[in-house]
Chains A and B, each alone.
Chain A
């Protein structure tokens, strides 16, 4: 069984960047896709992108593509998500979620093992 732990809450200013880490233990990190999902206040869940460390390969949601960088360091079983040019609309809880991937396009499919969430607050 995989356990996933994320880095702590962040308070930051508009225009800045934030980097969140996601560390896995209990199983082989590279077998999974590591996804990033966020939930803004009062809103639903939104997929931002993923990395599949075994290749490595990244997939991004188009609306984040110019501002997000997702990568993994297999040596420490940790994935990172960096989001730049933050605005108040980026205030949200950010989850990493590890799960299966598949198909010819090496696409993430399922969010099986979740981190505890990282609160990011963007405020001037």
Chain B
């Protein structure tokens, strides 16, 4: 199985901050990576697909990059509605696997 190592596991930030999360794959997955936002008691939401493509309707402050084994996810200016847990997910090979998540909370 492809292991996804996501860091940090938590990050305290203020509105307006730039937040960066990294995800490392245990093997080359090209750009087969998605990013999701998950708020408690709600369904996760797809933000970025194929490592860097913003899903429809997702604000441009969310950005994704990287390829092969190293990926980044950035919120360029954190908004109040962005406090949540973020997950990377690979589809380079079955089984589909997620990173451990990064909880972004209020500093």
**In contact, B44 and A44 (Cβ under 8 angstroms):** no
Select from chain B the residue with minimum beta-carbon distance to A101.
B91
**In contact, A45 and B34 (Cβ under 8 angstroms):** no
Give the interface segment out of B16-24, B59-67, B95-103. Answer: B95-103
- Interface size counted on chain B using CB atoms at 8 A: 21
> Once the chains are docked, how many angstroms separate the CA of A105 from the CA of B101?
28
**In contact, A44 and B91 (Cβ under 8 angstroms):** no
Q: Which of chain A's residues have a CB closer than 8 A to the CB of B32? A: 109
Q: Does A115 contact B (CB under 8 A)?
A: yes
Q: Does A61 contact B (CB under 8 A)?
A: yes
Select from chain A the residue with minimum beta-carbon distance to B98.
A45
Q: Does B38 contact A (CB under 8 A)?
A: yes
* Chain A positions near chain B (C-beta within 8 angstroms): 35, 37, 44-47, 59, 61-62, 95, 97, 99, 105, 107-112, 114-117
Known: A44-B101, A111-B46. 17 other contacts (CB 8 A): A37-B44, A44-B99, A44-B100, A45-B36, A45-B38, A45-B44, A45-B87, A47-B96, A47-B97, A61-B95, A95-B43, A109-B34, A110-B46, A110-B49, A110-B91, A112-B46, A117-B43
